[in-house]
A and B are shown apart, each in its own frame.
Chain A
């Protein structure tokens, strides 16, 4: 599978997925998108399709095609989409020409804010709210990137093939965000929140530790030994998941 295609799938399925939480947890973006009733279809020639839907103050990002999107953005190739995501290219609007001012205006404010949260600096991370949101988004990106890398990247496919069935819980303590990765016969589905009967758990001691750990600023072995990160259960599941997580920077780094 080509690098650009995997990167495009990560952009569509893992990075843009954070828009759902952005309009929920950032008050400014919540206010901005409150009245939106609009949907955007991303369509790549011979490639993946995904959509973003705003309705009743909520955002939903999904894979596949919407029956009647308000806007259709077309891309000639995965690389074309990736250039847009990197701020170096523009999509081809196929539908919703009257909404171009929205795309260039309010929607761009939203994506710029997401970019702001996903590109932390040491200075920005000193702000507790920023740190919390960056951590939440990084956790979400990781959770949604795992199924993509696990099904498309050669090393990822091999690693995932060894993961037994069961739920993997990743949680930030004491009451921070959590995601569950549901593994069934080699397929991984990320689910927001906790699971009652995890097969393996990875707990991060607090938001600061989680931020450093998820952004690969903390060596996992040292963090586990010192108790900053706690693992339990079928830890080979976590080992394999770790190999997949370590592939993310190859595409989104």
Chain B
């Protein structure tokens, strides 16, 4: 099987590094890709479930832009809706009318929520959710999960990271995932001082297996929040619309006070949303928060069309099924080489790890070999599946995976 070269990506990166700090920053930084030089850095074009890099290499994309792409790149209905909106108006003086249409649609779509507030990025709304929780309760502390990620604002980063100070984490209490007693203890140790509990629907750490909630976990957390007047916030930014069209809380059967959406909301157009219960609507109204582009109409039109299409085709159900087909196939191929490919998380956004080598080097090499043959796999982060991934894509992916397993079997022999 032909393997890819990334000459132009590297050339472009050299230019970038001269004028952009670390060339490509944030979650798109190539640093966690192992080895980084075996991955494409720059996209030239995209369509459906595929993208082509600046070297002309074609990839079946299992990262989906780290989550935003859910219906496929360049989706005609979404792009047409966005283009139509641009033609009439986009960023103007005055809120766009499509904002109301989108808000009504979302309030109907998400059973747990009665209102919606729009912003641009996930961290905009996770930040805002904590402000609302503090204002509603008059309390300071926020409980979050160790290893949880809610954006890159200083309070969300683990202490010690560059650009943060100790005081940033002063009002943050980190507890382990699935640990109800730890939450009870936090409440006991901070009487009437916990404003909010924020977590993803299930735990999605990087470089580690993803963890589903234990039976009854969310119900217990919800009950504790109700009992102690704590605002329950679900960060559905990554999971949203990949498990249930009504939000992941529907999938797991609990009712949060605030829900944060972003990523898949508009199939790649920049918009995020905070949704909440009626009880918090007036509080939200008085907590000032805004941004220069938060009233941009184009992403709102795109979001409306994305959600309509996801609802029409039952997108979450489709990608859960597609993901399962892909993962069953990959696990089977791995087994023929004596490798245990462990899958955790939902099939629509799975985390994979070859357990034979706890250092992850074997897994990293396999992911890189797959990427070098056209199936874009990362080794550190959960993958994403879209409604655009077809049976043919899966079949081709399995052939690539098989070829890559042959290579690493040759490389490692019977060491694992």
Contacts and interface: CB of A to CB of B under 8 A. Distances in A.
A232 B162 contact: no
A220 B35 contact: no
A198 interface: yes
Contacts of A224: 30-31, 36
Interface string B356-368: 0011110010000
Interface stretch (B17-25, B67-75, B89-97): B17-25
B16 to A, nearest CB: 9
B319 to A, nearest CB: 28
Given A225-B29, A226-B14, A243 B23 contact: no
Contacts of A159: 160
Interface in A86-107: none
A221 B36 CA distance: 10
Contacts of A232: 34-35, 359, 361, 364
A243 B17 contact: no
Interface in B16-70: 17, 21-25, 29-32, 34-37, 41
A156 B22 CA distance: 24
B391 interface: no
Interface string A137-170: 0000000000000000011101100100010000
B23 A227 contact: no
A230 interface: yes
A235 B34 contact: yes
Interface in B70-129: none
A111 interface: no
A115 interface: no
Contact of A155 (B14, B29, B35, B160): B160
Interface string A228-244: 00111111100000010
A135 to B, nearest CB: 22
B166 interface: yes
Contact of A243 (B32, B36, B160): B160
Interface string B189-211: 00000000000000000110000
A231 B379 CA distance: 13
A183 B61 CA distance: 37
B13 A226 contact: yes
B384 to A, nearest CB: 21
Contacts of B159: 155, 158
A219 to B, nearest CB: 5
Q: State the main secondary structure of chain B at its contact with A.
A: loop
B171 interface: no
B41 A225 contact: yes
Which of B31, B207, B358 gathers most chain A CB within 10 Å? B31
A219 B162 CA distance: 13
B363 to A, nearest CB: 10
Interface residues of A, number: 29
Contacts of A233: 359-361, 364
Nearest to A201: B361
Nearest to B380: A235
B40 to A, nearest CB: 12
Nearest to A160: B160
A238 B166 CA distance: 22
B344 interface: no
A156 B358 CA distance: 25
A246 B207 contact: no
Given A222-B23, A235-B207, A227 B17 contact: no
Contacts of A246: 162
Contacts of B364: 232-233
A81 interface: no
A22 interface: no
Given A225-B24, A235-B380, A243 B161 contact: yes
B342 to A, nearest CB: 16
Given A198-B359, A232-B361, A222 B32 contact: no
A235 to B, nearest CB: 7
Contacts of B37: 225-227
A167 to B, nearest CB: 9
A14 interface: no
Contacts of B30: 221, 224-225
Interface in B140-167: 158-162, 166
A246 B99 CA distance: 46
A199 interface: yes
Given A232-B361, A234-B360, A221 B23 contact: yes
Contacts of A8: none
A200 interface: yes
A225 B10 CA distance: 8
A197 B364 CA distance: 16
A225 B162 CA distance: 20
A221 B24 CA distance: 9
A199 B22 CA distance: 26
A197 B159 CA distance: 30
Interface string A166-202: 1000000000000000000000000000000111110
Given A221-B31, A233-B359, 12 more contacts: A220-B31, A222-B22, A225-B31, A225-B37, A226-B14, A226-B36, A227-B35, A232-B35, A234-B207, A234-B359, A243-B160, A243-B162
Interface of A: 154-156, 158-159, 162, 166, 197-201, 219-222, 224-227, 230-236, 243, 246
11 contacts: A155-B159, A158-B159, A221-B31, A225-B37, A225-B41, A226-B14, A226-B17, A233-B359, A233-B360, A234-B207, A243-B160
Q: Which 4 A-B pairs have the closest CB atoms?
A: A221-B22, A225-B30, A227-B37, A155-B160
